[in-house]
Amino acid sequence: MPFFDFSPDGSARAAFDLHCQHVSFGPFVLENRVWKGKGGPAAASFGAARTPRHVRADYHDYYCFNLQVSGSLSLRTRSVSQIKRAADVYLLDYGRPFEYIATSGHEISLAVPRSLLPPKVERLHGYSLSQGSVALLRDHLLSLRENLPGLSAAELPYIADATTQLLLACVQNASDGLPESPHVVDELLARRIRHYIDMHLLEADLTPDRICREAGISRAKLYQLFTPSGGVMREIRQRRLHLAHQVLSSGQRSSEKIRTIARRFGFIDEKYFSRIFKTRYGYAPSEAFDQTRQDRR
């Protein structure tokens, strides 16, 4: 599944000319995106939405620092509705939904693992950064785009360390004064529970009662937190299914039977496993490797 649902407007459907380049260094991924649109700059726009469905499906647990180099972007989150213009630097949390409408233009983004930054950064989701150090980050992102591909492997760890320190400087006091969302506490609690689930995902006794005891909450509260994703047991099942899909689609399976893989990830009934696997991914477990290889071509 892609990270977003894209929806070009009527004038752009015939010429969705979007160019993306990715470069990884250390724990980061730098992406350079240029959309020329149809007929030159500002001739068209397109929409993109990262929905709860995407968040549940891909588990991308990172922040993205975005520099709007040219063009504009109208962003909406649960608590923010803002226009991002050239030179703006803003943050998105890929663990939470958002949507935007963008004109043709140029954007640079830096994907940052959540674990590298303090928890309060979650409050910056959708906001533009205005600290004095943001000007340094802006120049740094532009420099990375130009120079990163030419750096040696020996240099990259030092560049990654410098990038981490600059990001920490940018977010150090950035959330001070922002309105506290009434949903933040629940979102933080749900995130901690999801981390606990991931740590114990393959344990047979991972039940709602056990999770409630560990989190110190009632069953009613647990069910309320996971209602948007269809319930906590569905969340566990989908995460186990995701791991099984990774094994089946990566070629790690060798001669291991599908039944054995299903049991390894908590699915005792092979027929049930095959049915929900096909419902989720659109093909049978036995077809996963070939299907994924075709998708990558």
How far apart are the C-alpha atoms of 42 and 173, rounded to whole Å?
A: 35
How far apart are the C-alpha atoms of 65 and 138, rounded to whole Å?
A: 10
Per residue in 8-60, pLDDT (tens digit) is 665 545 456 778 899 999 999 999 988 876 544 445 677 888 887 777 666 67
The domain over range 184-295 is classified in CATH as 1.10.10.60: yes
Pairing of strands 62-70, 89-93: antiparallel
The CATH number for 5-171, chosen from 3.30.300.20, 2.60.120.10, 3.90.1150.10, 2.30.40.10, is 2.60.120.10
Per residue in 183-217, pLDDT (tens digit) is 656 777 888 888 899 899 999 899 999 999 988 88
Question: Helix, strand, coil: what percent of the chain each, to 5?
Answer: 45, 20, 35
137 token code pair: 């980050």
CA distances from 35 to 19, 21, 105 (A): 6, 12, 5
Sign of the Cα torsion 198, 200, 203, 209 reads negative
How far apart are the C-alpha atoms of 64 and 57, rounded to whole Å?
A: 18
Give the predicted TM-score (pTM) of the model: 0.61
Per residue in 131-190, pLDDT (tens digit) is 778 999 999 999 999 999 999 989 999 999 999 989 988 888 776 655 555 565 677 788
Q: What is the pLDDT of residue 4?
A: 65
Task: Show me where the domains of the chain are located.
Answer: 5-171, 184-295
How far apart are the C-alpha atoms of 92 and 187, rounded to whole Å?
A: 15
